[in-house]
Structure 1
Amino acid sequence: MSKFKQRLKKVGKGFFVFLSGLLLLLIVGTFWPQLIIFGQLGTIMTSFWNLHFLILAVIFGAASGWLWHTHATWLNKSLVAINVLTVLGSGYLLGSQINTANKYDTKIDWGQYLSGKVDMGTPDEKTSVTYSQQGSTNLKMQVTMPKNKTKSYKPIFMIHGGGYMAGSRNQQPSWVKYYQSKGYVVFDVDYHLASKSQHPWKQAPTDIALAIKYVQKNAAKYHVDMDKMVIAGSSAGGGVALQTAYGIADHTIAVKGLPTPKAVVAIYPGSDPYALWYGNSSLMGMQGNICDRYYIGGSPDQYPKRYAAVSPSRHITKQTPATLIVAGENDHVIPYQGQKEFADQLQRKNVAHRLVTLPHSDHFFDIAGGSVGSQIARQQATRFLNKYNK
């Protein structure tokens, strides 16, 4: 064998060892989310690619078994052990995902799951309208009409995430397509984003309210029944969705004369700014309380009135709309405990709600539109909206 082939073989073997070890570390990180780097990467990636990892681990296990059979070295034996552990770990996690789907009566489309497409989009200017002009700022929303033709549609206002500091309309096109398929006119709304000098804790929900007002005035154009309005959002957008819907319901929102939403769909939402500040959450070096610092301006001690205004739990009344919350138990950005406490408060005040918990899942579990978490969330949203927005 030539020296080049020997080197190539060593490089290939080294790469195989690296990938085998990496897969195992990601699986280990999913079981121990506190693990530095791999605890975060593992819980995110296995949230939507766990079956892919299992398939790779089986292939790697077969390859390492063949290597052990041909050369019974300590390294080849170690590779077999590594890949067997990865198969067992990823198999357990997949079983957990399937059990969770069964618990929530979800039918998994495995073809959709294996497609593994990342759900990221950009604004479509052709279908966007300006709903508010504030000085030199034009705030827009993207309008997606259902394909079926009827006399009246239900409107849903989607609010994108991004830590209150980033993001734009049409950020999650698979969610837009989902709501469109259910007969909703989707109004995907941009709003003022936070910066070091701009803290839109009051402006952001007001922007969404202005978008609702715009549609209310143009209800005949879009053929929408505003009495069947829904507000939905993910992450920071989920927080703004709750803040807006609850603010409309208890009449603390700045824009008056708006219909109270029938329901809120909040996916891993910023439901508790206090938990975000005190929860010591961190994802890839970004501290969760940075979101509060930018959006609200500082700590709860500095701005108690702002935190009370932003916190949905402080605005729960008899008129509070039905609320669906879907969250990962291993969320590194927004502490899951805050979601549970928020759901408990809704329970104590007899507000119709449901908390859907995804074990071993992190923030962004729906970044792949076909993930098990995505499919659970959408099918739960279907049942919830069919019940509370008839």
Structure 2
Amino acid sequence: MTAFLLASIPLVLVIGALRDPTKSVHGMLGSALWTTLGPHFMLLSLLAFGLGFYAFRRWPRKITVLSLVLAGCASIGSTFITGTIIAATNMAGGKINPLSSLFLRSMTAGGPDETVAVATIDGRPLQAAIYRPALPQSAAPVLMYVHGGGFMTGSVTETDADLRWFADLGWLVVSVDYRLFPEGAPTWDLAPADVACGAAWLNSNAARLGGDIDRLAVLGDSAGGNLAINLAYAAARGDVETDCGEVPNASAVVVQYPAVDPLAIYEHWFPVRGFQPRMLVTGYLGGSPHAQPDRVRAVSSYTYIHDRAPQTLILSPEQDGLVPAWSVIRFAEHAQQAGVDVELVRIPFANHVYNQIAANSLGNRARRSITVHYLTERGLAPGASH
């Protein structure tokens, strides 16, 4: 009976991982947990199989046979899913140690070295969190990070552990703030202006902080991925206007599950109350996108595609229930056809924020190691030739 119960947990989630995450909570959980707890589910399945085999040897009855079969299925399924995630990461140049990934850590790592106000807007300071390289450098490569949160929530330190990790490897990391929409006050035109202001501040202060602005990579997740792409692509075309100063040209863009297509997000439901795609898009735009075509055009990343856009890495979880994976893949293909150097990495059995539930998880290691490999190959990592 113990083996039966232990095997049931990973087996239910194996089945859930094969379901559409937008259609049921079961499918959502099945795709949300494997990139965090895959190795744990493998161990649980193997333990269940061992107990089932032991019980079968001693009491060869129907219930022990059923327990053994369930445990075997759970072991095969969990090993396949976890191995597929690791293999996809390796194919993209990343690296995951499944044993090390058993030891999860908090996404909070003590906070930034400094938080500064880059501007004051509507009486509120627009902030930037600064993570300095572990070893002082005269010209460290620079990462500018734009957080996610559906344009409604989030903060400059929500991925604190990752930002500190990149700084410890030698990057100057600056996470920039932007206005989030409260109910009835859309920020479709304000959030991009704030990110541009943060980028202009970084352009003026990177050298003072020990960074080389000529080796700038702009990173962003979800809503922040939209803002990162739009800013970097527009800056490369000279289309960014801000009173905060000159916006630098990025050498690369690295985004995850970017909200590139507001219409696709609006029409794609997600079974989590209080964070539905339709509500997020409506709140950001100030109404239905069908009634706001000019605003949709202003925030859609398709608007900013051109053949001089910086090289771009896009990480897309294949079972994303918030930002539809197909919409991200379609954007990547469209940008490639327009002449943009886009590398698309699909993360199997993964949902939205697959990397942010716990530091050191499978998904977290995938995000970190693939990003480092990509930037190193392009001379944008500490110690890389440029």
Instruction: Check whether TM > 0.5.
Output: yes
* Alignment equivalent of 1:108, drawn from 83, 89, 96: 96
CA distance 1:121–1:146, change in 2 (3 Å):
closer
SS at match of 1:226: strand
1:53 to 23, 37, 41: 41
Match of 2:65 among 56, 70, 77: 77
1:187-226 correspondence to structure 2 within 5 Å: 187-226=174-213
Percent identity between the aligned chains?
25
What is the aligned partner in structure 1 of residue 363 from structure 2? 373
Q: Matches of 2:278 and 2:342 in 1, distance apart?
A: 27
CA displacement at 1:199 relative to structure 2: 1.4
Correspondence for 2:286: 297
RCO higher in structure (CA 8 A, sep ≥6):
2
Q: Deviations along 1:93-120, whole A, 9 cap, x unmatched?
A: 1231232133223332334312122424
Q: Of 7, 12, 18, which aligns to 1:31?
A: 18
- Out of 271, 275, 296, the position equivalent to 2:260 is 271
Q: Is 1:155 matched up with 2:148?
A: no
Contact 2:269 2:322 in 1 (8 A): no
Match of 1:341 among 330, 340, 355: 330
Gaps of 5+ in 1: 1-12
Q: Once the 2 structures are TM-superposed, how far is the Cα of residue 281 of structure 1 from its aligned partner?
A: 4.0
Structure 1 stretches (4+) deviating beyond 6 angstroms? Answer: none
Query: What's the counterpart of residue 92 of structure 1?
Result: 80
1:258 pairs, out of 231, 247, 272, with 247
Instruction: In structure 2, give the amino acid aligned to 1:173.
Output: D
Residues 351-390 of structure 1: pairs in structure 2 closer than 5 A: 351-367=340-356, 368-386=358-376, 387=378, 389=380, 390=386
- Give structure 2 stretches of 5+ with no counterpart: 381-385
Letter paired with 1:369: A
Counterpart position of 1:169: 156
Q: What is the DSSP-based 3-state SS (H/G/I as helix, E as strand, rest coil) of the residue aligned with 1:186?
A: strand
- The amino acid across from 1:54 in the alignment is M
* Equivalent position of 1:318 in the other structure: 307
Task: Report the Cα distance in structure 2 between the residues aligned to 1:273 and 1:52, rounded to whole angstroms.
Answer: 36
CA distance 1:123–1:183, shift in 2 (3 Å): closer
Letter in 1 for 2:316: A
How far residue 18 of structure 1 moved from its aligned partner, in angstroms, is 4.5
The CA distance in 2 between the partners of 1:269 and 1:121, in whole Å, is 25
Q: Counterpart amino acid of 1:155?
A: V
Relative distance call for 1:250 and 1:300 in structure 2 (3 A) is farther
CA contact (8 A) 1:48 1:372 kept: yes
Q: Which deviates more, 193-202 or 278-287?
A: 278-287
Structure 1: distance between partners of 2:54 and 2:142 = 58
- Which residue does the alignment assign to 1:3? none
What's the counterpart of residue 44 of structure 1? Answer: 32
1:232 matched residue in structure 2? 219
1:209 shift after superposition: 1.3
For residues 388 and 33 of structure 1, the distance between their equivalents in structure 2, rounded to whole angstroms, comes to: 39
Aligned-pair RMSD on alpha carbons? 2.3
Does the CA-based 8 Å contact 1:263-1:388 persist in structure 2? no
Shift in alpha-carbon separation, 1:236–1:320, aligned structure 2, 3 A: same
For residue 383 of structure 2, what is the aligned residue in structure 1? none
Using the TM superposition, name which of 254-263 and 268-277 deviates more.
Answer: 254-263
Verify the 8 A CA contact 1:206 1:244 in the aligned structure 2: no
Structure number with higher helix proportion: 1
How far off its partner does 1:140 sit? 1.3
State the shift of 1:366 in Å.
1.0
Q: Is 1:67 matched with 2:67? A: no
Question: Contact 1:233–1:239 (CA<8 Å) still a contact in 2?
Answer: yes
1:117 maps to which of 100, 105, 108: 105
Shift of 1:33: 3.2
Provide the C-alpha distance between the structure 2 equivalents of 1:63 and 1:109, rounded to a whole number of angstroms. 26
Residues 194-203 or 18-27, more deviating: 18-27
After TM superposition, the score normalised by the length of structure 2 is 0.89
Alignment length (residue pairs): 376
Residues 139-176 of structure 1, C-alpha deviation per residue, up to 9 Å, x if partnerless? 21111111222222222211111121111112112321
Q: Which letter does structure 1 place at the counterpart of 2:364?
A: S
- Aligned mates of 1:133, 1:347 — CA distance in 2: 38
Paired residues of 1:37 and 1:284 also in contact (CA < 8 A): no
Q: Which position in structure 2 is the counterpart of 1:6? A: none
